[in-house]
Amino acid sequence: MSPNDPRGFLYEQKFLLRLVFITMIFLVGILIARFLIPIDIATISVFASSIVGTLLGTYIGGFILKSEKVIDAHSDNFEKKFDTAIDQGKDFIQDITTREPKVVEEAKKEIEEDPEPPKKSARERLKDKGLM
């Protein structure tokens, strides 16, 4: 491995290489444990579970590291969006508290308009024509 290569023993390796490395590590670990503690505790089940768990852990860890880089790269953009959202929220709240509802505004407009002169009733019109 060259000093400039970002790949580690498990980090950023292909799936097959990760599987081989992890299997060899756990195989050596299980063999040592079997010689030190000769109790059979479903060795194959523990062996398989530990390999699968470690593989999942390496992928989850890689995802967390990559997402952290993305968040750091876009943090300025998030901050600007957050500030504009706060400003818009403040403006919205100010509009709600200071402006009157549309119904009240329309009612005031109707009141301000010149009222129409009262029309003559049907009785008065008939009197004017001399029919009553």
Average pLDDT, the chain: 76
Predicted confidence at residue 1, as pLDDT, reads 54
Predicted confidence at residue 107, as pLDDT, reads 77
Between 6 and 86, where is the model more confident?
A: 86
pTM of full prediction above 0.75: no
Tens digit of each residue's pLDDT (9 = 90 or more) over 11-26:
667 777 777 788 888 7
Predicted confidence at residue 19, as pLDDT, reads 78
Cα distance from N-terminal residue to C-terminal residue, the chain:
117
Between 91 and 113, where is the model more confident?
A: 91
- CA distances from residue 77 to 42, 86, 97 in whole angstroms, order as listed: 52, 14, 31
